Chain A
Amino acid sequence: MSATGGRLRRILCGRVRDEVDDELAFHLDLRTRDHLAAGLSPAAARAAAERDFGDVLAVRAACITIDERRQRREERVEYMGDLWQDLRFAARSLRKSAGFALTAIVCIALGVCVTTTIYAAVDAILLRPLPYRDADRLVAVYAQNAPHGYHGSNISYPDYVAWRDGVRSLEALGIWTWTSHALSGAGGEAERVEGAAVAASLFPLLGVRPARGRAFVTAEERPGADREVLLGDALWRRRYGADPAIVGRTITIDASPYVVVGIMPPGFAFPERGQLWVPFATDPAKEAHGNRGYAGAIGRLGPGFTLDRAKADLATVSARLEREFPRDNAGWAAEAMPLRDDLVGDLRRPLLVFFGAVGLVLLIACANVANLMLARGAARQRELAVRAAIGAAAGRLARQILTESLLLALGGGVLGAALSVGGVVALRRAFPDDVPFFDALGIGGAAVGFAVLVSLAAGALFGAVPARRAARVNLNASLRDGTRGAGDGVERSRLRAGLVVAEVALSLVLMVGAGLLVRSYRAIESTDLGFAERGALTMRVSLPEAKYAAPARRQAFLDALLARTAAMPGVTAVGSAQGIPFSGWNVQADYEIEGQPPRRPGDEFVSHFQWVTPGFFAAMGVPLRRGRALTAADRDTAAYVGVVNETFARRAFPGQDPLGRRVRSGKWSPWVTIVGVVGDYRHYRLPQPMGPALYLPFAAEPPHSQTLVARTSLADPLALAPAVHAAVRALDPEVPVYQVQTLEQQVSRSLWRPRLQGQVLAVFAALALLLAVVGIYGVISYAVAQRTRELGLRLALGATRAQVLGLVLGQGGRLALGGVVVGLIGAVALSRMLASLLYGVTALDPLTFGVVPVLLGAVAMLASLGPARRATKVDPIVAMRAD
Chain B
Amino acid sequence: MTKPAVDLLQGTLDLLILKTLSWGPAHGYAVARWIHQLTGAVLQVGEGSLYPALHRLEERGWIVAEWRLTEHNRRAKFYTLTPKGRQQLGAETDTWLQFVDAVGRVLGATEQPA
Residues of A within 8 A of B (CB): 19, 22-24, 26-27, 30-31, 52-56, 58-59, 62-63, 66-67, 69-70
Contact = CB atoms under 8 A, between A and B. Distances in A.
A19 B75 CA distance: 11
B47 interface: yes
B28 interface: yes
A70 B28 contact: no
17 contacts: A19-B77, A22-B75, A22-B77, A23-B28, A23-B77, A27-B29, A31-B47, A53-B48, A54-B46, A54-B47, A55-B48, A59-B52, A62-B52, A63-B51, A63-B52, A70-B58, A70-B59
Which 10 A-B residue pairings sit nearest by Cβ, starting from the closest?
A: A54-B46, A54-B48, A62-B52, A59-B48, A66-B55, A53-B48, A30-B29, A23-B77, A70-B59, A27-B29
Report which residue of B27, B29, B48, B49 has the largest number of chain A beta carbons within 10 angstroms of its beta carbon. Answer: B48
Contacts of B67: 19
Report which residue of A19, A56, A70 has the largest number of chain B beta carbons within 10 angstroms of its beta carbon. Answer: A70
Contacts of A59: 48-49, 51-52
Contacts of B55: 62-63, 66-67, 70
Nearest to A58: B48
Contact of B76 (A26, A56, A58, A63): A26
Interface in B17-72: 27-29, 32, 46-49, 51-52, 55-56, 58-59, 67
Given A30-B29, A53-B46, A54-B46, A23 B51 contact: yes
Contacts of A53: 46-48
A258 B89 CA distance: 89
Contact of A26 (B46, B47, B59, B77): B77
Contacts of B3: none
Contacts of B105: none
A26 B52 contact: no
Given A23-B28, A26-B74, A27-B28, A56 B56 contact: no
Nearest to A26: B76
B35 to A, nearest CB: 13
Contacts of B76: 23, 26
Q: Classify chain B's interface size.
A: 10 to 19
A22 to B, nearest CB: 7
A56 B52 CA distance: 11
Contacts of A24: 51
Report which residue of B46, B51, B74 has the largest number of chain A beta carbons within 10 angstroms of its beta carbon. Answer: B51
Nearest to A34: B33
Report which residue of A27, A52, A56, A69 has the largest number of chain B beta carbons within 10 angstroms of its beta carbon. Answer: A27
Contacts of A70: 55, 58-59
B47 A66 contact: no
Contacts of A62: 51-52, 55
A518 to B, nearest CB: 70
A27 B52 contact: no
A254 B29 CA distance: 103
Report which residue of A23, A56, A59, A63 has the largest number of chain B beta carbons within 10 angstroms of its beta carbon. Answer: A23
A63 B49 CA distance: 10
A26 B46 CA distance: 16
Given A23-B76, A31-B29, 16 more contacts: A22-B75, A23-B27, A23-B77, A24-B51, A26-B28, A27-B51, A52-B46, A52-B47, A54-B49, A59-B49, A62-B55, A66-B56, A66-B58, A69-B59, A70-B55, A70-B59
Contacts of A31: 29, 47
A70 B62 CA distance: 13
Contacts of A23: 27-28, 51, 76-77
A678 B50 CA distance: 111
A287 to B, nearest CB: 87
Contacts of A27: 28-29, 32, 47, 51
A67 B46 CA distance: 21
Given A22-B75, A23-B51, A66 B28 contact: no
Contacts of B27: 23, 26
A634 to B, nearest CB: 104
Nearest to B59: A70
Nearest to B46: A54
A556 to B, nearest CB: 99
B50 to A, nearest CB: 9
A55 B48 CA distance: 7
Nearest to A29: B74
A31 B31 CA distance: 13
A704 to B, nearest CB: 89
A66 B52 contact: yes
Interface in B51-108: 51-52, 55-56, 58-59, 67, 74-77
A63 B55 CA distance: 6
Contacts of B29: 26-27, 30-31
Contacts of A67: 55, 59
Nearest to A69: B59
B15 to A, nearest CB: 19
Nearest to B57: A66
Contacts of B51: 23-24, 27, 59, 62-63
A69 B60 CA distance: 11
Report which residue of B46, B47, B56, B74 has the largest number of chain A beta carbons within 10 angstroms of its beta carbon. Answer: B47
Contacts of A69: 59
B13 to A, nearest CB: 13
Nearest to A57: B48
Contacts of B49: 54, 59
A706 to B, nearest CB: 89
A57 to B, nearest CB: 10
Contacts of A54: 46-49
B6 to A, nearest CB: 13
B67 to A, nearest CB: 8
A30 B29 CA distance: 7
B75 to A, nearest CB: 7
